[in-house]
Chains A and B, each alone.
Chain A
Amino acid sequence: MSELRRDPISGRWNIIDTTQPVGPEGFEVEPPMQSAGKCPFCYGNEAMTPREIYAVRPQGGPPTGPGWNLRVVPNKFPALQIEGDLGRRGLGVFDLCNGVGAHEVIIETPEHDRQFADLSVPQVAEVIRAYIARSLDLRGDRRLRYTLLFKNYGLSAGATLEHAHSQLIALPIVPKRVQEELQGAGRYFDFRERCSYCDVLHQELQEDERVVCENRSFVAYCPYVSSFPFETWILPREHRGDFAKITPDTVTDFARILKETLGRLRTVLGNPPYNFVIHTAPIEPREREEYHWHVELIPKLTKIAGFEWGTGFYINPTPPELAAKHLREAAWVPAAV
């Protein structure tokens, strides 16, 4: 018998196939992508990108030259543009505003053939520090309400370049999924005066059925109401709504668990395409007591069909308990650092 499970925060129901659960061998994984031509993210090709916004250059050097470990540049084909007014207006029954916002690319390494999961823990920590620095900087712009940090890896996850990179999009509105989370978490908090994510984390640690790995500051687990096979969330143990305000001493723990989770996914599924997204509180002066920032990591293994579009509820062929078991038991050698 399959199960219908409801997410306690968003209220979303999913169908989990517990009758004929599909393990890792049940999915076909696309081969790694290979883009042709000169890579604009490689060492020596700095002039191919728009002017850099942020970089890690241990020995210094000009922003257009080599000598960097990490670079943040504007997206050459931005979904949103940084210049201009918001121009919120109505059009009869419709609402619209100008596509104002920031769209930046975080080039995670100068090496073309290095996947994010293969970076060292200090390198991943450097990427996280770039996320934080850029988030904090964009906060000064009063037009912006939300900063989204995410990574598309592999063709079917939406990547168009293979060189390791993640993206930042700052938006003039709070996106719908985040709003749903905020509303759900707010309702829960009003009633119980506790954070729903802290309660979920507590229950997950107690049941210990869906936990993948953990360290001093973070826990990775497959959510009870996973929409996708092998979906994995990373939650900080410490309650905090705003990702950009994490304490410096937990950055390395975050890097470590992110790398470990990606490494385990690769061991179990053989280098699948994936997306990860950092869910954090909107840009606003008040502290969101009810919210808890986290990472949602989704390997792209299934196809989204009419039922999912029509209902917003997902059919997941791999129960999260089974996914977590595979990920937990995967051979994983922590880095020496």
Chain B
Amino acid sequence: MPELRRDPLIGRWVIIATDRAKRPVDFVTSQEEPLPQGDCPFCEGKEGATPQEIMAVRGNGGANGSNGPGWSVRVVPSINPVLRIEGQLNRRAKGIYDVMDGIGAHEVIVETPRHIANAADLSTEQLHAAFQACIGRIADLEQDPRFRYALWFKNYGDIAGAGKIQHSRSQLIATPVTPLRVKEELVGARRYFDIKERCLVCDIVIQEQEAGTRIVLESEHAIALCPFASRFPFEVWILPKRHGCDFGRVHPAALADVARLFKQILSRLKAALDDPAYNALLHTAPFRAQRGKIGHWKTIEDDYHWHIELIPRLTRVAGFEWGTGFYINPTPPEEAAKYLREAAVE
């Protein structure tokens, strides 16, 4: 009997097909013709192919912003930004509709100077440095009063939207509105907190630790698990064990653990699913520096819990999912967690 499971945070129901559970071999992965390495704008020595760098991690030699080689992580404005940094929001009405100018920041965090496609193949230290760069950028973007949120995300593989450039990178998009999905989580988290005066995600972590069946990996400060109401097969969330609403203020030891688990999970997905395309994204509290704790997010420090969502792209999202916002997941998260726990990685 398939099950309907409800995500306790935002209330979304998911169909988990427990009967005809799909194993890793049941999914196929596809690849598009990649751009030759020589044309990659993100490789060391090709700094001139990107817009002027915003920041870089340079061991010795080469000042920050020097736009030359000698870096290990580099942040540049996107070559094809979806939002533009200059200008005012210009919020206005158009009859019944609301519209504003497409203002925002769109930055690319190049995670390695070498031409490596999958972040699974980077060292933990390298990923750690990339996360630190991300925190630096978020802190800077938060100072801009026009922005309400910055989404960190990562696309790997053609069907996950990575395009033809096979060089490991993540992206940061700062938006002038709090995105709907984040807002749904904030509302759900606060509703739970209003009743229990506890963080829902902290409660989930405790329950998952007791059950054990959906945990993939656990370290001192972080935990990786397949959520109870996973939308997608082999969906994995990485969470800090200690409560915190804001990724930017993560404890240094917890960040090191998150980088370690991130690398581990990516390696296990690669091994278990034959190098699948995936998306990763960070959900953290919206910007508050410029707005104070005004309005309805007054308990956000206590009620919201930041996390990273990892989604291997194995199924096709069809009419049913688009129409309903309700997903059919052919792999129960318990099975997925088991495969990932047992996956052999070097």
Most buried by A among B16, B162, B181: B181
9 further A-B contacts with Cβ under 8 Å, apart from A92-B207, A150-B320, A311-B149, are: A13-B177, A80-B15, A96-B3, A150-B318, A159-B318, A172-B4, A175-B13, A279-B323, A296-B323
The 5 A-B residue pairs whose C-beta atoms are closest, nearest first, are: A158-B318, A305-B161, A99-B2, A277-B323, A2-B102
Interface residue ranges of B1-44 to A (CB < 8 Å): 1-6, 8, 10-13, 15-18, 20
**Cβ A4 vs Cβ B159 within 8 A:** no
List 28 A-B pairs, Cβ < 8 Å.
A2-B101, A4-B99, A4-B175, A4-B177, A6-B98, A79-B17, A84-B1, A93-B203, A94-B228, A95-B5, A96-B3, A97-B4, A99-B15, A99-B18, A148-B320, A151-B319, A152-B318, A158-B319, A175-B326, A203-B97, A275-B322, A277-B319, A279-B323, A306-B154, A306-B160, A309-B181, A309-B309, A311-B182
CA distance A84 to B3 in the complex (A): 12
- Interface code A284-299, partner B: CB below 8 Å = 1, 0 otherwise? 0000000000001010
**Cβ B324 vs Cβ A178 within 8 A:** yes
- Interface code A7-40, partner B: CB below 8 Å = 1, 0 otherwise? 0101111011110000000000000000000000
Would you call A312 an interface residue if the criterion is a C-beta within 8 Å of the partner chain's C-beta atoms? yes
| B192 CB, min distance to chain A CBs, angstroms | 8
Would you call B328 an interface residue if the criterion is a C-beta within 8 Å of the partner chain's C-beta atoms? yes
Task: Determine chain A's interface SS by DSSP, over half rule.
Answer: mixed
CA distance A4 to B99 in the complex (A): 6
Would you call B171 an interface residue if the criterion is a C-beta within 8 Å of the partner chain's C-beta atoms? yes
**Cβ A177 vs Cβ B326 within 8 A:** yes
Tell me which of A6, A80, A177, A224 contacts B323 (CB under 8 A). Answer: A177
CA distance A203 to B98 in the complex (A): 13
**Cβ B181 vs Cβ A81 within 8 A:** no
Known: A12-B180, A96-B3, A296-B323. A315 touches B207 (CB 8 A): no
**Cβ B15 vs Cβ A305 within 8 A:** no
Output the nearest chain A residue to B162 by Cβ-Cβ distance. Answer: A305
**Cβ B179 vs Cβ A3 within 8 A:** no
Would you call B317 an interface residue if the criterion is a C-beta within 8 Å of the partner chain's C-beta atoms? yes
CA distance A8 to B281 in the complex (A): 27
| B311 CB, min distance to chain A CBs, angstroms | 6
CA distance A309 to B279 in the complex (A): 8
Output the nearest chain A residue to B87 by Cβ-Cβ distance. Answer: A1
Would you call B337 an interface residue if the criterion is a C-beta within 8 Å of the partner chain's C-beta atoms? no
Would you call A276 an interface residue if the criterion is a C-beta within 8 Å of the partner chain's C-beta atoms? yes
| A157 CB, min distance to chain B CBs, angstroms | 6
CA distance A75 to B228 in the complex (A): 26
- Provide the residues of chain A in CB contact with B317, threshold 8 Å: 158, 304
CA distance A97 to B324 in the complex (A): 18
Would you call B200 an interface residue if the criterion is a C-beta within 8 Å of the partner chain's C-beta atoms? yes
CA distance A13 to B94 in the complex (A): 14
**Cβ B326 vs Cβ A2 within 8 A:** no
The number of chain A residues with a CB under 8 A from chain B is 72
Residues on A close to B: CB < 8 A? 1-6, 8, 10-13, 15-18, 77, 79-81, 84, 91-99, 148, 150-152, 155-159, 167, 169, 171-173, 175-178, 180, 196, 199-200, 203, 207, 224-225, 275-277, 279, 296, 298, 303-307, 309-313, 315
Output the nearest chain B residue to A196 by Cβ-Cβ distance. Answer: B96
| A169 CB, min distance to chain B CBs, angstroms | 6
- Interface code B324-335, partner A: CB below 8 Å = 1, 0 otherwise? 111010000000
| B82 CB, min distance to chain A CBs, angstroms | 5
- Provide the residues of chain A in CB contact with B57, threshold 8 Å: none
Would you call B276 an interface residue if the criterion is a C-beta within 8 Å of the partner chain's C-beta atoms? no
Interface residue ranges of B140-198 to A (CB < 8 Å): 149, 151, 153-155, 158-162, 171, 173, 175-177, 179-182, 184
- Provide the residues of chain A in CB contact with B323, threshold 8 Å: 148, 150, 175, 177, 275, 277, 279, 296
Known: A2-B83, A151-B319, A152-B318. A93 touches B207 (CB 8 A): yes
- Provide the residues of chain B in CB contact with A157, threshold 8 Å: 316, 318-319
Known: A172-B4, A310-B151. A180 touches B15 (CB 8 A): no
- Provide the residues of chain A in CB contact with B326, threshold 8 Å: 171, 173, 175-177
- Provide the residues of chain A in CB contact with B328, threshold 8 Å: 79
Output the nearest chain B residue to A151 by Cβ-Cβ distance. Answer: B319
**Cβ B6 vs Cβ A96 within 8 A:** yes
Would you call B229 an interface residue if the criterion is a C-beta within 8 Å of the partner chain's C-beta atoms? yes
Known: A97-B4, A275-B323, A298-B322. A176 touches B316 (CB 8 A): no
CA distance A34 to B300 in the complex (A): 52
Output the nearest chain A residue to B151 by Cβ-Cβ distance. Answer: A310
